[in-house]
A and B are shown apart, each in its own frame.
Chain A
Amino acid sequence: GAVVSQHPSWVICKSGTSVKIECRSLDFQATTMFWYRQFPKQSLMLMATSNEGSKATYEQGVEKDKFLINHASLTLSTLTVTSAHPEDSSFYICSAPVWGTGTQYFGPGTRLLVL
């Protein structure tokens, strides 16, 4: 199947710093990517839809100024958690759909711990 990578796989930072997470589709192009957040023992919660060449679409309750998304190319989307606080600690996962199939492939996730 298609491969999606994420970097870094885990990050620990101090409160108030910004953290950037990259999501790459390695063997296919993705004009759209999705960013999810997952709390322990819960399902994935969609945060935003990242669109190449245009603004991201955020789900209700997700602060766009807090979670900056940039879809710089057809294979790369980045999520920046700005001025991170301990409550932002979570598991962040991206996915990329294969156009026309309805199939999506997920990255391995990034665990963020804000101290």
Chain B
Amino acid sequence: GQQLNQSPQSMFIQEGEDVSMNCTSSSIFNTWLWYKQDPGEGPVLLIALYKAGELTSNGRLTAQFGITRKDSFLNISASIPSDVGIYFCAGGNSGNTPLVFGKGTRLSVIA
């Protein structure tokens, strides 16, 4: 099935550094979602974006819904060890349709 292009695949950063990851799609979405998954757990919703151009923050996390509705980025500022995990982007449309996921970005934070 369709999959979003998410990059980078993995990142190793020092504690305190900022992180940026992004997703692109060939299709337009009405919603962009960012999830974090810890080992052995289900994905947890971090930020939901509903409008093209929207910039939303959740603590140290900031995400934007691209103006073309085909891309989104997630920034994490001043990373800490508990930021370690896999981050997934997902595109969706209103209504009960399945999300389309990126392959994930595996983040490692070196203390």
Contacts and interface: CB of A to CB of B under 8 A. Distances in A.
Interface in A71-96: 91, 93, 95
Interface stretch (B12-20, B75-83, B97-105): B97-105
A54 interface: no
Interface residues of B, number: 30
Contacts, number: 73
B103 A102 contact: no
Interface residues on A, range: 20 to 34
A102 B93 contact: yes
A109 B99 contact: no
A49 interface: yes
Interface in A95-115: 95, 97, 99-109, 111
Interface string A35-47: 0000001111010
A42 B92 CA distance: 20
Interface of A: 1, 4, 6, 31-32, 34, 41-44, 46, 49, 59, 91, 93, 95, 97, 99-109, 111
Q: Which 7 A-B pairs have the closest CB atoms?
A: A102-B31, A32-B96, A106-B42, A102-B92, A109-B42, A108-B42, A106-B43
Interface of B: 1, 3, 29-31, 33, 35, 40-45, 48, 50, 88, 90, 92-99, 101-104, 106
